[in-house]
Amino acid sequence: SKPVVAIVGRPNVGKSTLFNVLAGEMISIVKDTPGVTRDRIYADVDWLDRDFTLIDTGGIEPDSSDIILSQMREQAQIAIDTADVIIFITDVKQGLVDSDSKVADMLRRSGKPVVLVVNKVDNFDKYMADVYEFYNLGIGDPVPISAASRLGLGDMLDAVIAHF
Ligand code: GDP
Ligand code: MG
């Protein structure tokens, strides 16, 4: 069956924006999963003839930092249990935060392939220097993207399918 790719990250980093872009625009075939009637969290994505199922793990967006961390751990655990590759999204405008590091530790220990993505790099010249701090997470090279401006998505998808 098709590989499963899960998107994990804090509230507001752009998980759903990325999901919608990949589900709605860059792909040739989109099929809704039957039974998912509220927020669509599964999409079939086709990149360079490599099909995969994409999951947006962020449903309820909590507002207390304790809840954010526990929910991120839960999302990460779901991704670790169900995904073949995990897209871990961070936010260049917020920078590296403690909950990013804690989730990165879980993902690293799981041994699952992780593509570390730094979103909101809306201008590569202006923000690229801020991307380098994400190397400190110790889960590989950060891939800069702007989901909103559709920048860097090809390089990101190449990094994802390289793990299939
Ligand atoms: P989620 O909570 O992780 O699912 O994040 P959302 O996809 O709901 O996005 C949160 C906010 O970030 C929204 O206001 C988006 O418009 C904004 N956003 C998402 N991607 C980008 C981006 O590439 N650049 C900028 N500047 N804003 C973005
Ligand atoms: Mg969301």
Residue 58 CA to ligand 2 centre (angstroms):
5
Give per-residue pLDDT as tens, 120-161: 999 999 999 999 999 999 999 999 999 999 999 999 999 999
- Beta pairing partners, 90: 118
d(CA 136, CA 158): 23
Check: complex ipTM more than 0.95: yes
**Annotation: CATH topology of 4-161:** Rossmann fold (3.40.50)
d(CA 20, CA 17): 5
**119 is known to lie in a ligand binding site:** yes
Residue 10 alpha carbon, nearest atom of ligand 1: 3
SS3 48: coil
Residue 15 CA to ligand 2 centre (angstroms):
5
The model's pTM: 0.90
Ordered by start, the domain boundaries in the chain are 4-161
